[in-house]
Structure 1
């Protein structure tokens, strides 16, 4: 009986250690796949710049990537609760977010842009937003930016990125404020809308991690350096944005 107990304990230890090893070998990542060209679903498959970037980083780190789909506003809470290790969803690095999480080095630079109907003549520059209905996605910097800088804007807050565009397109909102790359892509496929040349802000995108996960943050930063050096990064930028950067 004693020998059986010892063997059982040893087997349990091996099993537990293998589970720990498996966990170390996996990168759990959350995204809101409704924001092309960064993350979206095409023919039932999750894809986009962020998705391919994370897969490339996982490969460079020797880790398998496991994806979880979460609404944008729930991404950072999912990281903080340890449901996932990383949030990758075109997330701007902001002072407010840095109070809660760490970010990798910036991997892309964008900014907030204004989208309106192509025949709109009342909104020609950012100042024209005052007094207008503007659709924004909950949990994004667009909400905070308009609140602080354009208090006279009537914000129409929605859960999903595509809802924000649709409200503007059908006239229930006068404009939409979102990231410029996504706005340009949508406008390219929908000639009935346009993106104003003047952006509202310049922003840096980063992957969000827990503050106590410094080792993983450093590992991801090294992987970022590697994919930049080997040409993977430039190829993905060209694929999704049309120019290398």
Structure 2
């Protein structure tokens, strides 16, 4: 190019370069606080739990990975998932093995004493049995004397034990026998092999399981059992990251991307009252 001559395209490119250079300090100044590694959000997740968290061609997939991608875009962080069994997730985040738990983790008062939550989803549990079984339970009180399979650490296990102690035994019925398995698919396998009589499972997980098994199992319960709130969990005291995630959630609600994600998975957002109740407030 000859001296003194400059095309409109070149001028536009130079102007953009200058603008980005001016913005660079602002981006650096707005670094997300509370993460273990700058520029990265590490996530503990049990990737055996479709449709919430699972592996698709060796890549994290499902509702929670998509949700984290939305948050990551808002925060300018690259998500890194660490496949961790469900029973070890809270231990892991408190041991600073990862920044946050995103794994369909139910919010309970007991867990709220161990971690801080960003509540973002509402679900519950369903009862699933073999299609040919005469046993079609509708509610926990129907489970007296039955073997109930669940993923290890499920929030409804203590509730079933309470039903057993406060309803089954006082009414002269056998106790509920809870059997826990490391993963949801293993609990389903126990149902298929008749090692348990019924599987208690998240309704979205139960639905996709029934579809995959092509009629071998059915959901016997008609209503949501033990409705619960799901939340991201961060280490107690990690207030900076808690605030960053809370603000990012507010942003994706406002821009509509979170509502679209909920609609695709046929899920719902909890109310403020439901969140307060879940936390035991």
Mapping of residues 33-182 of structure 1, within 5 Å: 33-104=47-118, 106-126=119-139, 127-151=141-165, 152-182=175-205
Deviation at 1:220, TM superposition (A): 0.6
- Measure, in 2, the Cα distance between the counterparts of 1:67 and 1:86: 10
Q: How does 1:189-204 map to 2 (within 5 A)?
A: 189-190=212-213, 191-195=215-219, 196-204=221-229
Q: Distance in 2 between matches of 1:240 and 1:201?
A: 20
Q: Shift of residue 228 of structure 1?
A: 1.6
Cα distance in structure 2, aligned partners of 1:135 and 1:172 = 9
Runs of 4+ in 1 over 3 A off after TM superposition: none
Number of the residue aligned with 2:14: none
- Cα drift, residue 22 of structure 1: 8.7
Separation in 1, partners of 2:239, 2:133: 48
Give the Cα–Cα distance (whole angstroms) in 2 for the partners of residues 220 and 56 of structure 1: 11
User: 1:210, 1:40 → 2: CA distance?
Assistant: 23
Distance apart, 1:138 and its partner CA:
1.0
- Could you say what the CA RMSD is over the residues aligned between the two structures, in angstroms? 1.9
Inter-partner Cα distance in structure 2 for 1:240 and 1:161:
19
- SS state at 1:194 partner: strand
Gap regions ≥5 residues in structure 1? 1-19
Change (3 A) 1:80 1:21: closer
Aligned counterparts of 1:165 and 1:38: Cα–Cα separation in 2: 16
Deviations along 1:105-162, one digit per CA (max 9) or x if unpaired, are x211100211111232223322221101111111121322222223411112111110
Distance 2:162 2:127 in 1: 16
Structure 2 spans left out of the alignment, 5+ residues: 1-33, 166-174, 270-281
Return the TM-score normalized by structure 1: 0.86
Change in CA separation of 1:116 and 1:218 when aligned onto 2, cut-off 3 Å? same
CA offset at residue 235 of structure 1?
2.2
Q: Hey, what's the Cα distance between the residues in 2 that align with 1:130 and 1:160? A: 24
Alignment check: 8 A CA contact 2:35 2:241 kept: no
